[in-house]
Structure 1
Amino acid sequence: MTANLFQPYTLNHTLTLTNKILMAPLTRCMADENLVPTQAMADYYARRAEAGLIISEATIIRPDGQGYPNTPGLFSTEQIQGWQNVTQAVHANGGKIFAQLWHTGRVAHPHFFGGGDVLSASAQAVEGSVPRMRELTYQTPKAATLEDIEGLVSDYAQAAANAMEAGFDGVEIHGANGYLIDQFLHYDSNRRDDEYGQTPENMSRFALEVVDAIIARIGADRTALRVSPGAYFNMGTDARDRAVFDYLLPELAKRNLAYVHAGIFDDAMEFDYLDGRVSSYLRKVYPKTLVGVGSYSAETGAAAIAESKFDLLAIGRPFIANPDYVAKVRNGEAVVEYNDAMLAELV
């Protein structure tokens, strides 16, 4: 039932994956106080190196992108060196690993970066408080100025260059799940009236500028993007969003990215304005390599690949519970069921 998951997959002329099972990005909040990856993190990723590709936990591109405690960064020399330890451990075990580049936008909190502005597409706050630190409530963000946007694009590109210095095989830009880039792509969070708002072309501009800047630094073959066409996390739905992604995704296809990755917690969710599931919509609009995710098992994911619903399968929480997930699937062994208590330590 899962044999197709164990066929190699060629992403492009420089990257071939040994199998079609990807380890999805999983925020673990286990970096040190300087947001430097630890030896425990290196051991954790190395144990999962049999995945066709590991996508790292979301990794912030600069200090004001932080919205959760102890999330790793890729903007200091010490952080780059910490990640070198991780990538060397993964490569020693025969694996490949991309860094997921992250700025949380309006769900950042000044507590983490010593005060200052929280940046977003518009001054539209999200309700609630910081996970794991409920005493910190979200702030009303500042609408990023044109100068701010220019700086953000530059810092994304520098983080991508830092990732390659750290030994990563490429980067996945986090443009999904209600974070900064996604905040430009949805009408709920983007109320701008300048060249970054109001129309699909304008609302896609920031995402494409980030993609293009990173391609210029490290190459399209080493660049991927995660997107959430369906607003579902820290974001209100708006049927007009469909037109934004109808414009964005064909533009991405022109750029020959390594892949596009769906951002959804459960792909059984349906969105009226997408005519169904996120994965189904992406397959209609984006003709190149697509990564599916969202509560799939190996069996249901293999079936979806067989039906050409997507090309590669990203698995999340089962990888927390099963460092040897790939071997267990290959051998037809039962997998350990995930539970939240497993978040307390890296195994």
Structure 2
Amino acid sequence: MTKNAVPSLFDAAVVGALQLPNRLVMAPMTRNRAAEDGSPTELMATYYAQRADAGLIIAEAASPNQVGITFAGIPGIYTDAHIAGWRGITEAIHAAGGRTFLQVQHGGRVGHPDNSGAVPVAPSPVRLSTPIRTAAGSKDAVIPRELSVDDIHGTVQDFAQAARNAIAAGFDGVEVHSANGMLLHQFLSDNTNQRTDEYGGTVDNRIRFTVEVVEAVAAAIGPERVGVRIAPGVGANDIVESDTEELYTALVAALGGRGLAYLHVVFADPGTPVFERIRAGWDGVLIANPVLGWGSPLPGDGGRSAAEELLAAGADLVSLGRSFLANPDLVARLRDGAPINQFREDYFYGGDATGYTDYPVLESVA
């Protein structure tokens, strides 16, 4: 490959200290199949090992503490039982030749006392308008408790300990989730962050919590093992940003120069100024996640053309979610132009092996 040539999805790449055989990343996807105490299960190990041909698997969001739990069936990474359960998964992925990071996510106001046993916390007491899934069905969200500065500092340390736990469980690294309306994103966004102290108001103040979490996690396990996920302009979970370009230009600049493994951009659109600013401002590996239309069927090529557009626009790797969910052998299917399995949405969240580990693979792979 000549200098400045656009890489192929199937070219090797380097992320932190990892050598990746291709540039296709399995995006973290909540599947709600952990045990009642948040411990990962053998079924989850089967699911991830089936998809080990991905250049990198980013395992689903795991909570760094009890109050950060979002929905029923979410895994944790804050007890010995969680570490042991995840170790079974990392061993299965590595035995199948794969590599994996764990996404660490605090739900903030996206949670419910029925799931965590505690009132959810947030930058400000602004209630989520959408219902929360619990074991007893969907329930209205509650008004969250505003985090004190001491609470914030404690949460930073919870993220750092969660990262240490992930490495103890055998993960190759962690992804700090600062996207999709979860706690760190709630601090970034001015509709959910109405604070007047050093964590609210100005852009520099609103990015402070994410930067402190990343600093603490990098100090705990090494920056080359740390990725960060962001979602510029994404309105998931009632997020509204009035200053997206300014906000993420500042955040990317604050995170740069630290030797982090990667920056992961959700729903990246290569034609927008914010994506161009992020690519120009980020000095490391950039993973981009294409817009394939949530609620729409997968495109016939499984997202390959959208992924290639992102590589052409400067992304180093591309993450796909539902395409990997429905196609354990996605890398082979995209490489060979084989037909794509469509996902079964009824089985996205919770349940057993149905719609989880029973998607067929190509005969050549089998």
Report the TM-score, using the length of structure 2 for normalisation: 0.87
Which residue matches 1:8?
A: 12
**Which runs of no fewer than 5 residues in structure 1 stay unpaired?**
none
Contact conserved, 2:245 with 2:274, CA < 8 A, in 1? no
Which residue matches 1:207?
A: 210
Q: Which amino acid aligns with 1:58?
A: A
3-state SS in 2 of match to 1:22: strand
Contact conserved, 1:181 with 1:207, CA < 8 A, in 2? yes
1:318 aligns with 2:314: no
Q: CA deviation at 1:79?
A: 0.8
Which residue matches 2:279?
A: 283
Q: How many residues align?
A: 336
3-state SS in 2 of match to 1:255: coil
Rounded to whole Å, the distance in 2 between the matches of 1:245 and 1:300 is 23
Which residues of 2 match residues 133-144 of structure 1 at below 5 A? 134-144=137-147
Rounded to whole Å, the distance in 1 between the matches of 2:108 and 2:132 is 13
3-state SS in 2 of match to 1:54: strand
- 41-50 or 325-334, which moves further after superposition? 325-334
3-state SS in 1 of match to 2:238: coil
Rounded to whole Å, the distance in 1 between the matches of 2:309 and 2:234 is 26
Q: CA deviation at 1:50?
A: 0.4
Which residue matches 2:28?
A: 25
Which residue matches 2:246?
A: 243
Over the matched positions of the two proteins, sequence identity in percent amounts to 36
- 152-161 or 134-143, which moves further after superposition? 134-143
3-state SS in 1 of match to 2:119: coil
C-alpha distance 220-188 of structure 1, shift in aligned 2 (>3 A):
same
Q: CA deviation at 1:170?
A: 0.1
Q: CA deviation at 1:117?
A: 2.9
Which residue matches 2:297?
A: none
1:302 aligns with 2:298: no
**Which runs of no fewer than 5 residues in structure 2 stay unpaired?**
1-5, 293-302, 358-366
Q: CA deviation at 1:134?
A: 4.7
Q: CA deviation at 1:236?
A: 4.1
Which residues of 2 match residues 16-165 of structure 1 at below 5 A? 16-114=19-117, 116-131=118-133, 134-165=137-168
Which residue matches 1:339?
A: 344
Q: Which amino acid aligns with 1:23?
A: M
C-alpha distance 68-210 of structure 1, shift in aligned 2 (>3 A):
same
Contact conserved, 1:42 with 1:86, CA < 8 A, in 2? yes
Rounded to whole Å, the distance in 2 between the matches of 1:58 and 1:139 is 22
Rounded to whole Å, the distance in 1 between the matches of 2:266 and 2:313 is 18
Rounded to whole Å, the distance in 1 between the matches of 2:143 and 2:277 is 32
Rounded to whole Å, the distance in 2 between the matches of 1:281 and 1:246 is 7
Q: Which amino acid aligns with 2:64?
A: I
- 336-345 or 150-159, which moves further after superposition? 336-345
Equivalent position to 1:232, from 230, 235, 254 = 235
3-state SS in 2 of match to 1:171: strand
Q: CA deviation at 1:67?
A: 1.5
Q: Deviations over 1:148-170 (max 9, x none)?
A: 00110000000000000000000
Contact conserved, 2:257 with 2:283, CA < 8 A, in 1? no
Runs of 4+ in 1 over 4 A off after TM superposition: none
Q: Deviations over 1:213-239 (max 9, x none)?
A: 001110000000001121411234333
- 295-304 or 317-326, which moves further after superposition? 295-304
1:186 aligns with 2:192: no
User: Could you say what the CA RMSD is over the residues aligned between the two structures, in angstroms?
Assistant: 1.9
